[in-house]
Chain A
Amino acid sequence: MTNLIFLPILIPLIAGTMFVFFRKRLPLVRAGTQIVTILNLAVTAFVTYYVLENGTLVLQTGGWDAPYGIILVGDGLAMSLILTTNIIAVAAAFYAPYSLDKGREEFYFYTFFLILIGGVSGAFLTGDIFNLFVFFEVLLMASYGLITLGGTRQQLRESIKYVLLNLFSSILFVTTVAFLYSVTGTVNMAQLSVRVGYVNQTGILTTIGILFFIVFATKGALFPLYFWMPNAYTKPPAVISALFGALLTKVGIYSIIRIFTLIFNGNIDYTHTFFIVLAGFTLIFGVAGALSTNNIKLIIAYNIIPAIGFMIMGVGVFSELSLSGSIYYLIHDMVIKAALFLLVGAVAIVAGTTDLRKISGLIKEFPFLGWMFFIASLVLAGLPPFSGFIGKLQLLQGAFENGHYVVAIVALITSLLILISVMRIFILGFWGEGMDLPQNTRSIRPLYFPISFLLIFSIVLGVGAEWFLPYIQQIGVDLTDPSVYIDAVLKKE
């Protein structure tokens, strides 16, 4: 049974590698990718269900016992995020063939894409902090491939910044792992938790923790470390932006949640208060970015940042409720960000531009697209009964309960500004006089399927919240009690 949790990494890795050899046979690769993503989704759904019902699965790779070998830990948090990842993967697999140019498809888009999915899954699964670094490298390298794919001038200009800053944070990552290993003598996360707790997280360990936080906050696009993100994410085609926006920054946030609940939980007054302050700034500056531009893709990209603010706020508040809120918000945000990027991608195809000042009246020609965008905007802003509200409500409750009024009110105001930032696209782009549409654009009808697939999931996640929430709340409870994770990993004989 435990071997099953390796499948979400293995299936895309093998498929991605195979497709390298069929570069020119696009119909095969496209269909193959779609089948593989659906297969992977089915497998993941099964494993997730199994884990949520029966408890954490731990795989000791190569048969080397914890804490010596590399451990993969399929707990509720990891599996639910992998499941979400694969939902997005399916949507991307069905969006890509109808939106990408042949060149990009032939030059290994599908390989990069699949291995990215595998890398992300690996990062969620691993219980070894050095192995986490390795999976970060896998997903980053796949993202370097994707961000430069096509080689347009603008892409390359932004790519170089993206690659350099990510390389820098990777260097800092591996250095910090070395520091941590020096102090604790281990890289197994469960054992790290035990050992850091054993010495009451001395000053140097808190410092190392902050360094980790900086590493992941850079990947996760937190204030003031997100400069590389908005422009880099908007230059590649929409489906790549969607993958980046939905998955990459979220791995950083996941790592913060994991590390700062499991390992560095000994000086919460200091570290987590720091997070709350940063969360407040992240909310404000992020949404200000979204209000600052007329580029529809950039509006969505900037909206990644305040969402991160919401999640970090939950980590900062550090209660069962707020952590559950963070995770719910995380899952919600992955799905809706992917959907929004795919939506603006479709808008860009039919309008021939991403400049909002040049788009108007699209709803007459594309009512379905318009209403999907409208609903997606409400989901993003966290209005009930959609998924954003379920997460946000728990976050707000958690913040109010623990006396963090300022950040809670900032969060409320931010919600309004988020709504304004996306509703502008609806009002200016979809309402108004009809525009002269460019001729001979490709049909966007096939794109409706992957978009509505994600949207329906978003709606189910909100309206049907009760199906998911007890599990997520249990994850929140488990996160506040590291012994659950430690027992699963270390006491398993």
Chain B
Amino acid sequence: MLQYAVLAPFLTALIVPFLFRYIRAIHTGWLILPIPFGIFAYFLSQLTNISEGHTQLSGIEWVPSLGMNFSFYLDGLSLLFSLLISGIGTLVVLYSIFYLDKNEKLNNFYVFLYIFMGAMLGVVLSDNIYALYLFWELTSISSFLLIGYWYERQASRYGALKSMIITVLGGLSMLGGLILLSIITGTTSIREMIAASDTVLESPYFTGILVLILLGAFTKSAQFPFHIWLPDAMEAPTPVSAFLHSATMVKAGIYLTARLFLLFGGTDIFFVLVTGFGLLTLCWGSYMAVRQTDLKAILAFSTISQLGMIMTMLGFGTKEAAFAAVFHIFNHATFKGSLFMVAGIVDHETGTRDIRRLGGLMTLMPISATLAFFGAFSMAGVPLPIFNGFLSKEMFFQTSLDLETTSTLVASIAPFVPALAVFGSIFTFVYSMYFFFHTFTGETRGQLKVKPHEAPIGMLISPIVLVLFVVIVGLLPNMINEPILTPATAAIYGELPNKHIVFWHGFEPALYMSMIVVALGVILFLTRTKWQSVYNWIPGVLSANKTYDYLYNMQFRVSERTTRTYMTGSIRHYMLYILIFIIGATGVTLFVTDGFVIDTSDLAPISWPEVVVGLVMAIAAIATILMKNRIAAILVLGIVGYGLSLLFVFFRAPDLALTQLIVETVTVALFLLCFYHLPKLDTKKQPVGAKTLNIIVSVSVGVLVTLVAIASHSSKKFETIAHYFIKESHHLGGGNNVVNVILVDMRGLDTLFEITVLGLAALGIYAMIRLRDKGEMD
């Protein structure tokens, strides 16, 4: 059944283009809205089953030879995410029907969106690491396409590419980690890996694997310093931002960390990395959010910060923290989803998302303002029982105080954690207030192109549903405790949490922390114009974005520079590199393997004529290089050829001598004919250095080939197959001339294709002469 839930969105994506084309009267969104809702209903029906502790496993084989299968596993954790994906997916599709006009490229939009939905379900349901990786990359790709939906805009293209580069980088790193895991544990199933967690823990590659996999999780979940892609991803249409870039895709990294918690959790290195980067992201994201002027940018940095907070809790490694993380995953999806939708409504109705130009919208858009109020105050963690955000935030504070300080490393870091948690939360409070009050209260600050009015009801339904969750969960948190939160925590931590959520704990440190957040938050919010200049100091000119841009451009610059250095277009250079490589590789091999041997026992006596001919050939060969005139050079080169025919005569091979003689004569004649048309030989002086290098290289190649030739001759170990040819030539081949029999019979295939080569050469030359680009001739 699970595989059909994953498959359904993909199949829908396949038919969307046809629906869009042939049913123009109805907005395509309506036609495909039932799909995510059906999936949602299915997962809802699994709630009791899962909360009773049952799990579900099903799937289909893909490439069993490599252990790659689509095996899907439903437990508390994957159920929580599946519900979020299909539930918010339904709301987002509904919202998008009103957000995107029928004249938009809806076919593209819904294809990408449904591919994403299927892929995201695949990520959270896959038990097989390769299927997980497949869906993981598919979410990156669909996110890339959705961010680039308005591809005429430069910013969309920039954001799309940036998100893809960073998330695919992380994906590849994760793949490396997963491959190592599968090698160590001998399985490709995550459940079986977890069962073998001792092997992983003892492996010398533990740290390496952890770092590789966390790199995947951190890039996907926009952890510092990889968070930079998320603000640029806001170029996507707002339904996409609400769905991918706040509720689901960016939580894939969180999901992965939670899923592999039983493998890595509880170790010092896991705590340091996950909590460390989480806290850094929490503080940095909330601090930077206050500075933004675009509504969606505020929400983007807010998402970064909240993801950091969830990551931090996972890093804590305690059961309570895991529970709090799960709770906050749920809460964040509700309030952030609704806030994004409100931002989209504001953008839609006023034509701008620039918070400096907005204000006083409360009277014009009362419903949106109310929704924003609940979303923002829940996000800020205002201590009232109608905000679910407060409940999970207080748990965060509580767990930050209750760290298990068993190791000295954790003990030395633990005291700073609550302080940083409070620091980050203060800014969260500030930007939440800023988001709400600056948009909906006060005076209208700029001239708007259109007169704003409340959004159509269809657009409001989705955020209303989400805000209802904010309030209901705030009031009755235990309603989702047993069916959703407890099973999810159990799946992460391996034990049932037995946690009862209460609003009032009494006067506990966590409450004081909340009070500090609210008190300092209010002060900072009211005085924010006074301290804005702090951003000139931190981050000042430092920026991860600039680093990304620098690296991105540098890869092209460096590539171009290096490539241009050696790809000179000069055949001399190429030849030189190749020869140097030959000298190096062959020379070193000959030396290292002690391959050089010399054995003179098998040599024939050398007669004087042979010596003389040899010397003449050598002198002629050298002389060829020194000639200043082409014709002279080719004539001198001819001496080498004729010398060779003489040697053939001495070695009793008259037919070879004849062939050589003819070849030599014809080539010399041809050369002479051609050279008549060529300009004078360029005798430009080469620099001494280059000349010396050339001489060294040429001589070395010559020496090396000679050495290999001598060694080859001296290492004769076997009887050659030539004896067979001589013996059988007459008997089997029916000819007395062995060479002839070899050419036409024994190795006739060689001859056939050498003839083909000659034929091709003839055709090539004919084509070259006849078919020339007339325009380019001068």
B589 within 8 A of A: yes
Are B747 and A69 in contact (CB-based, < 8 A)? yes
Instruction: Write out the residue numbers on chain B whose beta carbons fall within 8 Å of the beta carbon of A164.
Output: 571, 575
Tell me which residues from 540 to 592 in chain B have a Cβ below 8 Å from any Cβ of chain A.
555-556, 558-560, 562-564, 566-567, 569, 571, 573-575, 577-578, 581-582, 585-586, 589-590, 592
B173 close to chain A: CB less than 8 A = yes
Asked if A416 meets B165 with Cβ closer than 8 Å, knowing A292-B560, A466-B61, the reply is: yes
Interface residues of B (CB under 8 A from A): 61-66, 68, 130, 133-134, 137, 141, 148, 151-152, 154, 157, 160-161, 164-165, 168-169, 172-173, 175-176, 179-180, 182-183, 555-556, 558-560, 562-564, 566-567, 569, 571, 573-575, 577-578, 581-582, 585-586, 589-590, 592-597, 705, 708-709, 711-713, 715-722, 724-725, 728, 745-750, 753-754, 756-757, 759-761, 763-764, 766-768, 770-773, 776
The answer to whether B151 touches A432 (Cβ under 8 A) is yes
Partner among B152, B756, B771 whose Cβ is within 8 Å of the Cβ of A107: B771
Cβ of A133 to closest chain B Cβ, rounded Å: 9
CB distance from B294 to the nearest CB of A (A): 23
Q: A184-B718, A289-B559 are in contact. List 14 more A-B contacts (CB 8 A).
A: A68-B725, A145-B760, A150-B771, A165-B578, A185-B716, A288-B559, A291-B555, A291-B560, A292-B556, A384-B134, A396-B175, A419-B164, A465-B65, A465-B66
Residues of B within 8 A of A416 (CB): 165, 168-169, 172
Determine if A13 is an interface residue (Cβ-Cβ < 8 Å).
Answer: yes
**Smallest CB separation, A102 vs chain B (Å):** 10
Q: Hey, what's the 0/1 contact readout for A419-434 against B, CB within 8 Å counting as 1?
A: 1100100010001110
CB-defined contacts of A203 to chain B, threshold 8 Å: 590, 593-597
Task: Please judge, given known A-B contacts A184-B718, A412-B173, whether A214 and B582 are in contact too, CB under 8 Å.
Answer: yes
Instruction: Tell me, rounded to whole Å, the shortest Cβ–Cβ distance linking A70 to chain B.
Output: 5
- A349 contacts the other chain (Cβ, under 8 Å)? no
Contact assessment for A204 and B761 in the assembled complex, using a CB-CB cutoff below 8 Å:
no
A96 at the interface (CB under 8 A from B): no
- A417: interface (CB < 8 Å): yes
A383-421 vs B, Cβ < 8 Å mask (1 yes, 0 no): 111000110011011001100000011001101110110
Per-residue CB proximity of A456-472 to B under 8 Å, as 1/0? 00000000011001100
Contact call B776/A134, Cβ cutoff below 8 A = no
Query: A49 within 8 Å of B by Cβ?
Result: no
A135 at the interface (CB under 8 A from B): yes
Residues of A participating in the B interface, judged by any CB pair closer than 8 Å: 13, 17, 20, 61-62, 64, 67-70, 103-104, 106-108, 111-112, 115, 119, 122, 130-131, 134-135, 137-138, 141-142, 144-145, 148-153, 160-161, 164-165, 168, 172, 175, 178-188, 191, 195, 198-199, 202-208, 210-211, 213-214, 218, 224-225, 227-228, 230-231, 267, 270, 274, 285, 287-293, 361, 363, 378, 383-385, 389-390, 393-394, 396-397, 400-401, 408-409, 412-413, 415-417, 419-420, 423, 427, 431-433, 465-466, 469-470, 473
**Bound CA span A70–B708, Å:** 27
Decide: A112 near B768, CB < 8 A? Known: A210-B589, A466-B63. no
Return 28 A-B CB contacts under 8 Å, by A number: A62-B748, A64-B745, A107-B766, A107-B767, A137-B753, A137-B757, A141-B756, A178-B712, A195-B717, A203-B593, A203-B596, A204-B593, A207-B590, A207-B711, A208-B712, A210-B585, A214-B581, A225-B577, A231-B567, A285-B562, A287-B559, A292-B562, A383-B137, A390-B66, A393-B130, A412-B172, A412-B175, A469-B66
Which of B562, B575, B767 has most chain A Cβ within 10 Å? Answer: B767
How far apart sit A241 and B575, CA to CA, in the bound complex (Å)?
23
The 8 closest A-B pairs by CB, nearest first: A203-B595, A185-B720, A203-B593, A145-B764, A431-B151, A107-B767, A291-B559, A292-B563
Q: Is there an interface contact between B718 and A288, defined as CB atoms closer than 8 Å?
A: no
**Cα distance A469–B62 in the bound complex, in angstroms:** 11
Known: A207-B711, A412-B173, A416-B169. A470 touches B183 (CB 8 A): no
Q: A185-B718, A227-B577 are in contact. Are A70 and B750 (CB under 8 A)?
A: yes
Contact B721 A67 (CB under 8 A): yes
Which B residues touch A394, using CB under 8 A?
66
Contacting residue for A270 out of B592, B711, B773, CB 8 A: B592
Closest to A108 in B: B763
Contacting residues, chain A, for B764 (C-beta < 8 A) = 112, 141, 144-145, 148-149
Which residues on the A side are within 8 Å of B761 (C-beta)? 141, 144-145
Would B586 and A214 count as touching, CB distance under 8 A? yes
Interface centre among B137, B183, B559, B746 (most CB of A within 10 A): B559
The CA of A142 and the CA of B390, in the complex, are separated in Å by 75
For A181, give the chain B residue with the smallest CB separation. B720
A68 to B728, CA, bound (A): 11
Measured CA separation A89–B458 after assembly (Å): 56
Flag if B773 contacts A179 (CB, 8 Å). Answer: no
Residues of B within 8 A of A384 (CB): 130, 133-134, 137
Report the minimal beta-carbon distance from A249 to chain B, rounded to whole angstroms. Answer: 16
| Alpha-carbon separation in the docked complex, A142 to B764 (Å) | 8
